A and B are shown apart, each in its own frame.
Chain A
Amino acid sequence: MDIFIQQVVSGLATGGIYASLALALVMIYQATDVVNFAQGSMAMFSTYLAWSMLQAGLSYWVAFFATVIIAFVGGVAIERVIIRPVENAPILAIVIVTLGLLVILTSVAGWFYSYIQKPFPSPFPSKPIRIGTVVFGAHDLGAIGVTLVILLLLFLFFRYTTLGLAMRAAAQNPVSSRLCGIRVSWMLGLGWGLAATFGAVAGLMIAPVVFLDPNMMGGIQIYAFAAATVGGFTSPLGAVVGGFLVGITENLVGTYVSVIGTELKLTVALAMIIIVLLVRPSGLFGRTTVRRV
């Protein structure tokens, strides 16, 4: 039972990271109908920037917040400079552009920082936390906390601010939004900025676990795809729930099904994608809007 609880908590920790990245994917997908394949490598790149800052002697949280801000600005810049020119191109073209971005970011990171894995520090104490007979990793609990704070901030932003409302409106109905005076293309830029921001947080939280290397987000991105598919690509809430579900399932299956172990864990994500697509293609929270005409 102790092992079960430990595995669930550790699943929640990685699940939160999948959830953040899945949310980033869903946000951009809702606004532009495009799946951003570069989301993971953008996060990886941000994490390298944080690493550089830490090497330069900055304290962890200074580097953390600086990275978050740079990621936001970088996300907006990518939308403005790279995505905007192909905005009206067929969706496939934009997807290829994001794939190109993935390759470029990965190669640049590899060229600049080399492909050798680097350890990345956790801001949380390394001593495990013991509650009763159960032992939790402090980093796991910290990552869960950070994820929850980010999700809460994001929820409050979209639910209660006028800018958040305008972003939702722009994603839903660009023509009407323009008629309300909303600068739709800036809203898309902001969306990319926000997505890059929690991608970066996900990178910072996972790097201590998987180590820093240019391909570190490859697997994570597949889990994030699984999370978004499970929850439904049209639902931010679904992406979050999907993220935690995938994280927990992956951990439990890895622990209790000996054939799979840690080596074949990634197949769990792929299996989940396939099962959801077969049984409920719109995902658990996929929207079927009720409309009267």
Chain B
Amino acid sequence: MPDPAETPSKRPALLEAQALEAQYGWTRVLHGVHFAVEAGGITTILGANGAGKTTTLRAVCGMVKTRGEIRFEGRRIDGRATEDIVRLGIAHSPEGRGTFVDLSVEENLRLGAYARRDRAGLAEDYARVYRYFPVLEQRHRQQAGTLSGGEQQMLAVARALMSRPRLLLLDEPSLGLAPLVVREIFRIVRAVNREQGVSVLLVEQNASIALDLADHAYLLETGRVVMSGPADELKKDDAIRRSYLGY
């Protein structure tokens, strides 16, 4: 197994974290995490409940107090405000989906594009996300809180895409959804990655589906990266198979 700190690609990393620590109050949750997200790729962070997956994504977006270094396109982003980080081209589809429940589907999407300066491309963006998520177009006037769980998850991804990000952070998109819906959402994520060139950092508890999607994977245990490598290799690893894939 390669060393976790080593970046496995020849291409430069889009996002890179070094010795990342994060804490809530007095409780430290991440203990020196290293990882990198390749430009154009899909990277996944796996781990059990409480391993620090969500915290890792929150750390990238400046939503939690951190130490260590986070670079996006070579620039330090740690310690900056969330609003500024997302304006650099990072979109975060958060845990719990973050739906604006009282607003309409279309208003949710409009907020996704809020940070962008060019309002002209808005119509084009609606058209693009509606192409990926036709169900959202059918419901564009509906109050977002009345959507089903799967539709709200689609809305969360669509809202993130509205900002035309270069990096998409996805926090457990499979949570609480029927397997068929999960498969549909992952199919769309892959399409977005291929067609739009959006790099993806996916955090998942569902290791088998995440490893199928990702090129590269990290395994997080109690706030540390314990294993990393190409997704195909991790899939074959005995320990991963037994503990996370269940066969």
Contact = CB atoms under 8 A, between A and B. Distances in A.
Given A173-B100, A175-B63, A180 B94 contact: no
Contact of B147 (A162, A181, A183, A292): A292
A165 B111 contact: yes
B235 interface: no
Given A175-B63, A180-B163, A162 B110 contact: yes
A179 B103 contact: no
Contacts of A177: 111
Contact of A168 (B63, B99, B103, B163): B103
A127 interface: no
Nearest to A173: B100
A176 B102 contact: no
A166 B101 CA distance: 14
Contacts of B92: 179
A244 B221 CA distance: 60
Contacts of B83: 178, 181-184
Interface in B43-76: 61, 63
Interface string B76-88: 0000011100110
B138 interface: no
Nearest to A175: B98
A172 B100 contact: yes
B87 A181 contact: yes
Contacts of B103: 165, 168-169, 172
Nearest to A176: B98
Interface residues of A, number: 23
Contacts of B143: 290
A291 B61 CA distance: 28
A163 B100 CA distance: 16
A237 to B, nearest CB: 13
Contacts of B102: 168, 172, 287, 289
A278 interface: no
Contacts of B149: 292-293
A123 to B, nearest CB: 38
A181 B111 CA distance: 9
A169 B145 contact: no
B60 to A, nearest CB: 11
Given A179-B61, A183-B83, A292-B148, A169 B98 contact: no
A246 B94 CA distance: 43
Nearest to B107: A165
